[in-house]
Chains A and B, each alone.
Chain A
Amino acid sequence: AQSVTQPDIHITVSEGASLELRCNYSYGATPYLFWYVQSPGQGLQLLLKYFSGDTLVQGIKGFEAEFKRSQSSFNLRKPSVHWSDAAEYFCAVGESGGFKTIFGAGTRLFVKA
């Protein structure tokens, strides 16, 4: 069965420190992978996506993610976190040629001064 696991319910990092949010998926076919961000009281906004090609993808707001097929992972990274990055982050996997997207439970990021 398809599934997405975000092992960390919440993470706290200092402003200016680097960030890595983990995402592991279980999927039988070639996955489409996404990271979304949700600020408090808002809907989800796409940060980046991977469909094919270069396994290191760049997104908005200075985020990047790397697809590692051998590890079934799609971890999100940012070299220097800003206080405005505090939000909840969702990893999601979709199917090639399809439309049903499975979301992880989310990781809430706290940024301390």
Chain B
Amino acid sequence: NAGVTQTPKFRILKIGQSMTLQCAQDMNHNYMYWYRQDPGMGLKLIYYSVGAGITDKGEVPNGYNVSRSTTEDFPLRLELAAPSQTSVYFCASSWRDTEAFFGQGTRLTVV
């Protein structure tokens, strides 16, 4: 059972480039989330989804977009990358009212 799979694990982007962080889960969870983790700041919610076709903004959505066409996949799109988006990104999934299962993370550097 793979759980939550994120790709890539590492990426370096130049300012202004775009990319998509992939996230897939095989637990049939209805809820999925994207967080970013910055040193000393804990995890901040970027976007979340409560089911296929339904997404909503979290605490820090600016500069990101998401889609949820299937239950399994929840990609995060960065348009016009900026140095402030240098971070570690975590995808997670859960059933309602239960704990979240996290992927291994994607370490992104924007230079």
Which residues of A approach B to under 8 Å, CB–CB?
Answer: 4, 9, 32, 34, 36, 41-46, 49, 51, 90, 94, 96-101, 103-106
Taking a contact as CB atoms under 8 Å apart, the answer to whether B105 and A104 are in contact is: no
Taking a contact as CB atoms under 8 Å apart, the answer to whether A99 and B96 are in contact is: yes
Taking a contact as CB atoms under 8 Å apart, the answer to whether A103 and B42 are in contact is: yes
**15 more A-B residue pairs beyond the given contacts A42-B105, A90-B42, A97-B97, with a C-beta to C-beta distance below 8 A:** A4-B42, A36-B102, A41-B105, A43-B4, A44-B90, A46-B101, A99-B48, A99-B50, A100-B48, A100-B58, A103-B35, A104-B42, A105-B40, A105-B41, A106-B42
Taking a contact as CB atoms under 8 Å apart, the answer to whether A99 and B40 are in contact is: no
Q: Which residue of B lies closest to A104 (CB)?
A: B42
Taking a contact as CB atoms under 8 Å apart, the answer to whether A103 and B43 are in contact is: yes
Nearest CB of chain A from residue B88's CB, rounded to whole Å: 9
Q: How large is the interface on B (under 10, 10 to 19, 20 to 34, 35 or more residues)?
A: 20 to 34
Taking a contact as CB atoms under 8 Å apart, the answer to whether A99 and B94 are in contact is: yes
Given contacts A9-B40, A103-B42, A106-B42, whether A46 and B97 have CB atoms under 8 Å apart is: no
Q: Restricting to B50-103, which residues have a CB under 8 Å from any CB of A? A: 50, 58, 90, 92, 94, 96-97, 99-103
Taking a contact as CB atoms under 8 Å apart, the answer to whether A43 and B102 are in contact is: yes
Nearest CB of chain A from residue B4's CB, rounded to whole Å: 7
Q: Can you list 5 contacts pairing A with B, beta carbon distance less than 8 Å?
A: A46-B100, A96-B97, A98-B97, A99-B94, A103-B43
Q: Which residues of B contact A41 (CB under 8 A)?
A: 104-105
Q: Which residues of A contact B103 (CB under 8 A)?
A: 43
Taking a contact as CB atoms under 8 Å apart, the answer to whether A99 and B31 are in contact is: yes
**Of residues B41, B42, B50, which shows the largest number of chain A Cβ atoms within 10 Å of its Cβ?**
B42
Taking a contact as CB atoms under 8 Å apart, the answer to whether A46 and B48 are in contact is: no
Give complex CA distance A46, B3 in Å. 14
Give complex CA distance A34, B67 in Å. 28
Taking a contact as CB atoms under 8 Å apart, the answer to whether A100 and B45 are in contact is: yes
Nearest CB of chain B from residue A100's CB, rounded to whole Å: 7
Q: Which residues of B contact A97 (CB under 8 A)?
A: 96-97
Q: Which residues of B contact A42 (CB under 8 A)?
A: 104-105
